[in-house]
Chain A
Amino acid sequence: MTATAVVHLHPPGRLLALVGNPNCGKTALFNLLTGSRQKVANYAGVTVERKEGRLITHAGHTVRVLDLPGTYSLHPRSPDERVTCEVLNGQALGERRPDLVVCVVDATNLRRNLRLVLAVRRLGMPCVVALNMTDLAERRGITIDADQLSGALGVPVVRTVGIAREGDAGLRRILDDPTLWLRSADHETLHDSSSLLADHDAVRSILQRLGLDELIPHEASDRIDRVVLHPVVGPLLLAAFLFLMFQAVFAWAEVPMQWIETATAWLAAGAGTLLPAGWASSLLVDGVIAGAGSVLAFLPQIVILFFFILLLEDSGYLPRAAFLLDRLMGAVGLSGRSFIPLLSSHACAVPGIMAARTIADPRDRLVTIMIAPLMTCSARLPVYTLLIGAFIPQRVIGGWIELQGLVLLFLYAAGILGAMLVAWVLKRFTAAGRHVRPLMMELPQYHLPSPRNIALGLWQRVVIFVRRVGTIILSLTVLMWFLASFPTPPPGATGAPILHSFAGMLGQALAVLFEPIGFNWQISVALVPGLAAREVVVSALGTVYSLSASGIDAAQSLAPLIARDWGLATGLSLLAWFVFAPQCLSTLAVVRRETGGWTWPLVMAAYLFALAYLAAFIVYRSASLLGGN
């Protein structure tokens, strides 16, 4: 594509918007239509995810496609639903009103889905109905006459199968029809009333005319639910699944992590021999390569965790987990809905906090945001991995449980319990906390996860993570290298060079504050950039140690070094600190955006700091008393 000199407020070309109920297969259809030609960003002024892509019609024309957030009606209840309404009404900030609306409809659930079609039709915009999941409908004996439905609705109807190759061919073909883009919905076929009950009656009469009025239960889904939602079996199954997930994060990631570490070491050695010794070589080897490498090494774990979360999401199990956990969450004043954002926070608090937008209730949403950073995010894994590797022996208990994995599970549990405690305190001691709020959550039909959608979702998340490595984390690592390298020690000075650097001075100053919880000055130094992004602590420790401990073989890893240098009590204290540690700057920035001010991020930083300090203090003092030194 060539760059044009003209600056358009909106990119040129036709704009199509996908609208539909949640769980109608809209995102799968969007993925099929646009493939990898997608751009993920936010809507202006609000932090609702904006997904735009480009599709090529049958005749080869390019059309922009906007995947609007799923909604049950055009009476918005959450920020997500509000965006859909505003875009459709042409009121959204910085968004052009779409030229065409494609109403994606679940063919197995016309009863509910068609009501939204009627509401959209009433907006008077050119409109097409994509009768999605027709494959599932046919397998269950639901035969829909698309022409008859089109006649009844007064808009064109095309069949689509969002999960099959060429399942979008019909839609691509109809988009080449120029009259489609001009014609607004035919108003005469149905009376124009905005009443929900009138729409319901209209849908029922359409279904009756088409012979689709019979309720056909989804037997496979019901059979699965009898097990998954079983009062005893269900929770056991969920616990087993979560246990498997965390064991997998630890076990499966090991081999690829070693590959990345080997590659980094090879690259650093190569760069070291190619460049003349000096600050430039030091910057590249100790700053850039070591920093980026030590963070990239944790990519496999993040990929595995996201893979499991996407699998849960795509199969329809995630809302069932929320169902099972609703009582538990209700006990601390939240709903099962908060489970999804909180689970996502295990990968990263940033997407977790953003996922809290699906919680319609403002109070539930705020509490979920405030406790999300207590969930152990993947950025803490590098620190946990390092400390567990250094201080917890590699041993197998009872024949199959890894002790290191068990400790990791305990750390995750500590974060979750801490979050529950905070939420309970907020429920107990605030007026809003005692008020009852609704759940009303759909349990969609199960379906086999589509490898294509999972791969695409995984790719988008990996890109976001690597971009963070490329920007914030890497630049902080380089800043850290600078702080640890300059000023250089005066001639004739004794001790490690870093003692004379800015980092050394800062660390020594902070060490006074952290001394009661057992942190030495090296840890104190590493915690400074760690406030910006937690995984940086590992590379910062690497920088501090490789620069301060002269004569240490560079290939020697950090773990045995700290195992020798720190006492067990210090190691455990640092682990406790990281369960509650004040979150990274990106989290605080997201919280500021989501809550619209600095109050909540500041409150969050303060309360997490207090919790972390308290936990580390208790752990350090107890471990010291018990002889852990």
Chain B
Amino acid sequence: MARVLPDITERSAGAAAAATDTPSAQAITTLDRVPLATAFVIHEVVYPEDGRGWNQRLEELGFLPGERVVVLTRGRPGGDPLAVRVGHSTFALRRTEADCVRVRPWPTAVVKS
């Protein structure tokens, strides 16, 4: 299976493809912008503009397409960093890192935790 979108040119192509098979392009957002305690599903992990290899590391930690993610809390002030539940694990991510994770709403329902 091909790696997910290793460069920026493929990134826009991926987003366009995603727009056709998910509810709407509008529904896809990045993890740093989602509300707290709400379940999302990872759509893809994209290559950040200046963070070498971040996407690969994120994937190794478990941020993989199809996984369920919930932002548990945010640091104050500035909403940075975020505590993110992915699968059974919890990770602290900075906003710039969370920005690499593109998500869409969890299909079943909005889950309050």
A-B interaction: yes
* Residues on the A chain within 8 Å of B74, using CB: 231
Question: In the bound complex, do residue A112 and residue B88 qualify as a contact, i.e. CB atoms below 8 Å apart?
Answer: yes
With the chains together, A326 CA to B80 CA distance in Å? Answer: 8
Q: Does A614 contact B (CB under 8 A)?
A: no
Check A330–B88 contact: CB distance below 8 A. Answer: no
CB-CB < 8 A to B59: which residues of A?
A: 196-197
- Residues in chain B near residue A322, CB distance under 8 A: 92
Q: Residue A111 at the B interface, CB < 8 A?
A: yes
Of B1, B66, B81, the residue contacting A326 (CB under 8 A) is B81
Tell whether, in the assembled complex, residue A443 and residue B4 are in contact, meaning their CB atoms are under 8 Å apart: no
Q: Which residue of B lies closest to A109 (CB)?
A: B88
**Can you list, as one digit per residue, whether each of A199-221 has a CB less than 8 Å from chain B (1) or not (0)?**
01100100000000001111001
Across the interface, A231 reaches (CB within 8 A) one of B57, B61, B75, B93, namely B75
Report whether A438 and B75 are in contact in the complex, using a CB–CB cutoff of 8 Å: no
CA distance A112 to B62 in the complex (A): 6
Flag whether B65 is at the interface (Cβ < 8 A): yes
Asked whether B89 is an interface residue with its Cβ less than 8 Å from the other chain, the reply is: yes
B29 within 8 A of A: no
In the bound complex, how far is the Cα of B88 from the Cα of A108, in angstroms? 8
> A255 on the interface (CB 8 Å rule)?
no
Given A72-B61, A323-B83, A327-B78, A195 contacting B91 (CB threshold 8 A):
no
* Contact of A443 with B92 at beta-carbon distance under 8 Å, contacts A198-B1, A438-B54 already known: yes
* Alpha-carbon separation in the docked complex, A197 to B68 (Å): 15
- Contact across chains for A109 and B1 when beta carbons are under 8 A apart: no
A438 and B57 contact, Cβ closer than 8 Å, known pairs A197-B64, A222-B72, A324-B75:
yes
Contacting pair A443 B76 (CB below 8 A): no
- The residue among B54, B61, B68 with the most chain A CB atoms within 10 A of its own CB is B61
Among B4, B81, B96, which residue has its beta carbon within 8 angstroms of that of A436? B96
Are A195 and B88 closer than 8 Å at their CB atoms?
A: no
Distance A597 CA – B106 CA, assembled complex (angstroms): 52
The yes or no answer to A336 lying at the interface (CB within 8 A) is yes
A143 within 8 A of partner (CB)? no
> Roughly how many angstroms separate A217 CA and B78 CA in the complex, as a whole number?
27
Residues of B within 8 A of A467 (CB): none
* B62 lies within 8 A of A197 (CB): no
A505 in the interface, Cβ–Cβ < 8 Å?
no
Give A222 to B84 CA distance when docked, in angstroms: 11
Known: A327-B77, A336-B81. A440 touches B87 (CB 8 A): no
- B14 → A minimal CB distance (Å): 14
Say yes or no for A229: interface residue by CB 8 A criterion: yes
CB distance from B68 to the nearest CB of A (A): 6
**Interchain CA distance A437-B3 in the complex, whole Å:** 23
User: Within residues 155 to 203 of chain A, which ones have a CB less than 8 A from any CB in chain B?
Assistant: 193, 195-198, 200-201
A435 and B64 CA atoms in complex are apart in Å by 26
Chain B, range 47-64, C-beta contacts under 8 Å to A: 50-51, 54, 56-62, 64
B20 CB-CB contact with A under 8 Å:
no
Give the residue name and chain of the A residue nearest to B64 (CB).
A200
Interface size on B, residues (CB 8 A): 39
Q: Write the nearest CB–CB distance from B99 to chain A, whole angstroms.
A: 11
**A197-B63 Cα distance, complex, nearest whole Å:** 10
Q: Say yes or no for A624: interface residue by CB 8 A criterion.
A: no
Judge whether A402 is part of the interface by a CB distance below 8 angstroms.
no
**Residues of the B chain whose Cβ atoms lie less than 8 Å from the Cβ of A436:** 50-51, 96
B38 at the interface (CB under 8 A from A): no
Residues in B with CB closer than 8 Å to A226 are: 73
With A72-B61, A196-B59, A323-B83 as given contacts, are A439 and B92 in contact (CB-CB < 8 Å)? yes
Q: How far is the CA of A6 from the CA of B35 in the complex (A)?
A: 67
> How far apart are A33's CB and chain B's nearest CB, in angstroms?
25
Chain A residues positioned under 8 Å from B96 (CB to CB): 436, 438
Say whether B54 contacts A111, CB under 8 Å: no
How far in angstroms is the closest Cβ of chain B from A76? 11
Interface residues of A in 222-248 (CB under 8 A from B): 222, 225-226, 229-232
A319 at interface, CB cutoff 8 A: yes
Q: What's the least CB distance linking A398 to chain B, in Å? A: 29
Shortest C-beta distance, A432 to chain B (Å), equals 12
Say whether B64 contacts A323, CB under 8 Å.
no
Given contacts A197-B64, A324-B75, A327-B77, contact A215 B1 (CB under 8 A): no
- Pick the residue among A111, A232, A326, A435 that contacts B88 (CB under 8 A): A111
Least CB distance, B48 to chain A, in whole angstroms: 9
Q: Is the CB of B4 within 8 A of A439?
A: no
User: Residue A395 at the B interface, CB < 8 A?
Assistant: no
**A441 interface residue per 8 A CB criterion:** yes
Q: How far, in Å, is A100 (CB) from chain B's closest CB?
A: 25
Contact B94 A439 (CB under 8 A): yes
Cα A444 to Cα B51 in complex, Å, equals 25
What residues of A have a CB within 8 angstroms of the CB of B92 in the complex?
Answer: 319, 322-323, 326, 336, 439-443
Question: A217 and B1: CB pair below 8 A?
Answer: no
Chain B residues near A330 (CB-CB < 8 A): 80, 94
Residues of chain B within 8 A (CB-CB) of A315 are: none
Which A residues between 418 and 443 are near B, CB-CB below 8 angstroms?
435-443
Considering the chains assembled together, what is the distance between the CA atoms of A445 and B83 in angstroms? 13
Task: Please report the C-alpha to C-alpha distance between residue A435 and residue B52 in the assembled complex, in whole angstroms.
Answer: 11
Pair B73/A229 contact, Cβ less than 8 Å: yes
Query: Given that A73-B60, A324-B75 are known contacts, is A109 also in contact with B87, CB under 8 Å in the complex?
Result: yes
Known: A225-B83, A230-B73, A442-B61. 18 other contacts (CB 8 A): A72-B60, A73-B60, A75-B56, A109-B87, A111-B62, A111-B87, A112-B62, A115-B62, A196-B64, A198-B1, A200-B64, A217-B113, A221-B90, A225-B72, A439-B81, A440-B57, A441-B92, A443-B83
Q: Could you write out 14 A-B pairs with CB less than 8 Å apart?
A: A111-B87, A111-B89, A193-B1, A198-B1, A222-B72, A226-B73, A229-B83, A231-B75, A323-B92, A326-B75, A326-B94, A438-B94, A440-B97, A442-B91
Of all A-B residue pairs in the complex, the 5 with the closest CB atoms, nearest first, are A231-B76, A73-B60, A443-B90, A109-B88, A111-B87
Chain A residues close to B by CB (< 8 Å): 72-73, 75, 77, 108-109, 111-112, 115, 193, 195-198, 200-201, 204, 215-218, 221-222, 225-226, 229-232, 319, 322-324, 326-327, 330, 336, 435-445
